[in-house]
Amino acid sequence: MQHAGTEIVSAVMPIIERWKHEEGPLLPILNGILREFGYVPREVLPAIADALNLSRAEVYGVVSFYHDYRENPPGRHVLKVCRAEACQAMGGDAVAERLQELLGITFGETAADGSVTLEEVFCLGLCACSPSAMLDGEVIGRLDEDKVQEIAREIRA
């Protein structure tokens, strides 16, 4: 859901207020916005810069540095698939291929129907039950064809 610019800025003000007097407030603010909206709308950056007495460039520099701070609203589901070595060792590349095929999108994309955003992640700490993924915050280990199909079904439902 795309919010109107001013509406979204006023919606993030409580998050900014909550943190602005704490030490190192910028990441907690951005993480709070991410949790609330699922992305970090770039139109809120000037308000953050003002509140923290930073330049807009500084805030933009931080936002663009971290993988989590996606610029656009994600799909209804977010599927993060681990691509790191412990998952590679257990056929993770094939699982990743299969998921892209079933969902009809590649990593970094959101499905046209808004059902899902597919992202790569480098290690979920589930390396003794690989390959692994995280669907809307829920972890899934030992991905195989059955589990991959189940994920695709849940996303389409």
Cα separation, 87 vs 81, in Å, equals 9
* Binding test (CB under 8 A) with other proteins, winner from 36, 43, 76, 88: 88
N- to C-terminal Cα separation, the chain: 19
Give min distance, CB of 5 to other proteins, in A: 23
Q: What residues from 12 to 71 belong to the interface with other proteins (CB under 8 A)?
A: 23-28, 30-31, 34, 52, 61-62, 65-69
Name the token pair of 77: 């589901």
Q: Taking a C-beta distance cutoff of 8 angstroms, is the pair 132, 120 a contact?
A: no
Q: What number of CA atoms fall less than 13 Å from residue 32's CA on the CB side?
A: 17
Cα separation, 31 vs 35, in Å, equals 6
Task: Decide if residue 128 touches other proteins (CB under 8 A).
Answer: yes
Looking at this protein, which amino acid is placed at residue 142? R
Farthest-apart Cα atoms in the chain, separation: 52
Q: Among 8-16, 88-96, 97-105, 108-116, which window interacts with other proteins (CB under 8 A)?
A: 88-96
Give min distance, CB of 43 to other proteins, in A: 19
Task: Decide if residue 8 touches other proteins (CB under 8 A).
Answer: no
Give min distance, CB of 8 to other proteins, in A: 19
Task: Decide if residue 122 touches other proteins (CB under 8 A).
Answer: yes
> Binding mask 132-151 vs other proteins (x if CB under 8 A, - otherwise)?
x-x--xxxxxx---------
